[in-house]
């Protein structure tokens, strides 16, 4: 049976400079994209932590307002006017 392998044991083959440059360029772009995903994920985590802090602060402020104005109070957030819930 004839060996159809293009590679021989006595000759080392290499890709062309253009092919090597393209491989390196694509690999570099791939690595940059992976790093960008990591950066975005870190930003997302920071934003989620910030949201949790805002929710806690809002809840504490809401409780203080309820203690001051009553649980049935409705505050218009545009005008600050306080009314009582209508049943």
Sequence ranges of the domains in the chain = 17-84
pLDDT at 2: 60
Residue with tokens 């440059």: 21
Ranges of the chain with pLDDT below 50: none
pLDDT at 5: 61
Task: Look at residues 39, 70, 25 and name the one whose alpha carbon lies nearest to residue 62.
Answer: 70
pLDDT at 11: 87
- Classify residue 83 by its DSSP letter: E
Tell me, yes or no, if the pTM score tops 0.75. Answer: no
Residue with tokens 């694509």: 26
CA dihedral 83, 85, 86, 87 (to 10 degrees): -160
Asked if 82 and 74 touch (Cβ cutoff 8 Å), the reply is yes
């Amino acid at each position: 049976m004839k060996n159809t392998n293009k590679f021989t044991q006595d000759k080392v083959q290499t890709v062309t400079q253009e092919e090597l440059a393209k491989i390196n360029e694509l690999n570099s772009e791939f690595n940059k994209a992976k790093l960008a995903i990591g950066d975005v994920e870190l930003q997302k985590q920071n934003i989620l932590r910030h949201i949790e802090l805002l929710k806690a602060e809002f809840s504490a402020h809401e409780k203080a307002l309820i203690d001051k104005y009553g649980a049935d109070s409705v505050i218009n957030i545009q005008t600050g006017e306080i009314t009582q819930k209508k049943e």
